[in-house]
Structure 1
Amino acid sequence: MKVLLTGATGMVGSLVLQQNLDNQDILEVVSLLRRPSGVQHPKLTELVIKNFLSLEEVATFCQGIDAVYYCQGVYTGTVDHDLFRQITIDYPEALAKIIKTTSPDARFCLLSGAGADRSGRSRVAFARDKGEIENRLSNLGLGAFHSFRAGYIFPVTPRQEPNLGYRLLRLLYPFIRLFGEGSSIRSTELAEAMFRVGLQGHTNEILENKDIIAVIR
C-alpha cells in the first residue's frame, strides 16, 4: 500500500507515521509537512510545503494513494479565527480535491474533534468549523471518508502543552477517564485506530471517541 500523511511533526501525526513505517503492508509513505520531521526511512518521502492551498506541484506524488491520514491542525486560541478556518477547512479540502483526481479510490481519514457540528447551528466556532470540513469532504465523492471525533487526547509522550487549559487537562486526565470512553483517548490509541481504519476501512463515516476506542479493542 501507498499512503499519504499530513501533520507528521504533531502529537498524533508522528505516531500515525510510525505505525505506517513499522507495518510491512505499507510500501511507501508520502508526508506533506511544513518543516522536516528529522525522520529517515527507506519508505518515507517528505515534501516540505510552503502553501497548503496550492498543491498542484505535489500532485504527481499523490498518484496511487490507498489511504490519506490528515492529522495537520492547530489548537483553538493559538491563532486568530480566520487562520484557524484556513488550516481547519481550506487546507484539507485542497488536498482532498487533489486526491479525488489522482487517487479516486483512496480512503481519507480526517482527525476532527468531539462536538463537531454538521448542522452549522452550534454557538461554538470550533464545532461549526469542524462540522463544515466534515460536510465538505463527505460531499466531495472520495473513495471513502472517515472523520475521527476524538475527545481530549492525552499525550503519551511528554510535550510542551500549548496553553494553560491543556496543562490542566493533562493533570486532570485520570479523573477525565472516569467519565467513560466518550470523553478521552490516549494519543497512541488514536493513532493506532486511525492507522487501522486507513488500512482496512470502517462501516462508519463518523467515528466518535467511543467508536475510535472500539477499533482497537
Structure 2
Amino acid sequence: MDAKVKAIITGTTGMVGEGVLYECLQNPNVEAILVINRKSCGYHHPKLKEIIHQDFFDFSSIENELKGYNACFFCLGVSSVGMDKDQYFKLTHTLTLHVAQTLSKLNPDMTFCYVSGAGTNSSEKGSINWAIVKGKTENDLMKLPFKQVFNFRPGIIKPIKGLKNTHNFYKFFMWLFPVLKAINQNSFVSLQEISLAMINATKSDKERRILEVRDIIELAKQ
C-alpha cells in the first residue's frame, strides 16, 4: 500500500493555499498536514497542525517540527504589480529557495510542489520581470535534492465555492467559467484540480516536471 501523504502547506491565508488545504482536509489519502503562517488560517481539524512563524527567511527555531513530512505544497506568493524588482525577487525567489533548501535537508524523500504561473519564462530571459523571476525559481527548485519537484503553472483559476480567501473579482465572472473554458480549455483550471494534482503528484513516477494547465487537469484525474 502506498504511504499516506504528510504535507506541509504554505500560503493558506491566500486563495490557492486555502483551497489546497481544504481539499487535503477532505482527502483520505492525506494523513497529516502542517501549515506555516504569519497569522492563523482559522482552520481546525484532527489532522491539522499550525505553526505561527513570522520570519520565513529563518526556520532554525522550528526545524525539528518540519521533519517527517513527504510533501510540500508551496502556495505562498506575491503579486509583482507596483513592487520594486529587488523586493519581488526577494519575496519570490529568495524566500522560496530558503524554505525549499531547509525542507530538502530535513526531508530528502519529499515531493515539492510549487505554484508558479502560466507564462513563466524558463529561459530566464526577456522583458517581463515576474516571468523571468518565476522561471529562475522553478529552475533552481529543480536542482535541489528532493525526491520530486513539480512546478505548477495554472492560468485562470476557478475558486472553491464558499472559501473565505477567494478574491472578490472572481464573483463577477465565475458564472462565465464553463463558457470560457470551452473556448480555451488550456487556460482555465479549477482550484480543486490543482489540489488533487498536488496530492497525486506524490504518487507520480516523475522526478522533475513543469505542469501547464492541461497537465494539471490530467494529473488531477489519476
TM range (shorter): 0.7 to 0.9
Partner of 1:197: 201
Structure 2 Cα separation of the partners of residues 208 and 9 of structure 1: 24
Partner of 1:49: 53
Q: Secondary structure at the match of 1:131?
A: helix
Q: Quick check: 1:66 aligned with 2:70?
A: yes
Pick from 19, 30, 34 the counterpart of residue 38 of structure 2.
34
Q: Quick check: 1:215 aligned with 2:216?
A: no
The answer on whether the counterparts of 1:13 and 1:191 sit within 8 Å (CA) in structure 2 is: no
Cα offsets for 1:83-121 (capped at 9, x unmatched) = 322221112111111111110110000011111112111
The answer on whether the counterparts of 1:2 and 1:67 sit within 8 Å (CA) in structure 2 is: yes
Pick from 85, 91, 95 the counterpart of residue 95 of structure 2.
91
Structure 1 runs not aligned, ≥5 long = none
The answer on whether the counterparts of 2:36 and 2:51 sit within 8 Å (CA) in structure 1 is: yes
The residue type equivalent to 1:16 in the other structure is V
Q: Structure 1 residues 160, 67: closer, same or farther in 2, change over 3 A?
A: closer
Structure 2 Cα separation of the partners of residues 25 and 156 of structure 1: 20
The residue type equivalent to 2:81 in the other structure is G
Q: Quick check: 1:81 aligned with 2:85?
A: yes
The residue type equivalent to 2:44 in the other structure is Q
Give the TM-score of the pair, scaled to structure 2.
0.86
Q: How far apart are 1:173 and its partner, in Å?
A: 4.1
Q: How far apart are 1:41 and its partner, in Å?
A: 1.2
The answer on whether the counterparts of 1:34 and 1:48 sit within 8 Å (CA) in structure 2 is: yes
Q: Structure 1 residues 172, 80: closer, same or farther in 2, change over 3 A?
A: farther
Structure 2 runs not aligned, ≥5 long = none
Aligned residue runs from structure 1 range 174-193, under 5 A: 174=178, 176-193=180-197
Structure 2 Cα separation of the partners of residues 74 and 110 of structure 1: 13
Q: How far apart are 1:212 and its partner, in Å?
A: 0.4
The residue type equivalent to 2:204 in the other structure is G
Identity %: 30
Cα offsets for 1:127-152 (capped at 9, x unmatched) = 10110100111112221100011111
Q: How far apart are 1:62 and its partner, in Å?
A: 1.4
Partner of 2:119: 115
Structure 2 Cα separation of the partners of residues 142 and 35 of structure 1: 28
Q: Secondary structure at the match of 2:30?
A: coil
Cα offsets for 1:170-201 (capped at 9, x unmatched) = 57645532443321112222222222213x12
The residue type equivalent to 1:35 in the other structure is K
Partner of 2:16: 12
Structure 2 Cα separation of the partners of residues 112 and 133 of structure 1: 9
Q: Structure 1 residues 25, 191: closer, same or farther in 2, change over 3 A?
A: closer
Q: How far apart are 1:23 and its partner, in Å?
A: 2.7
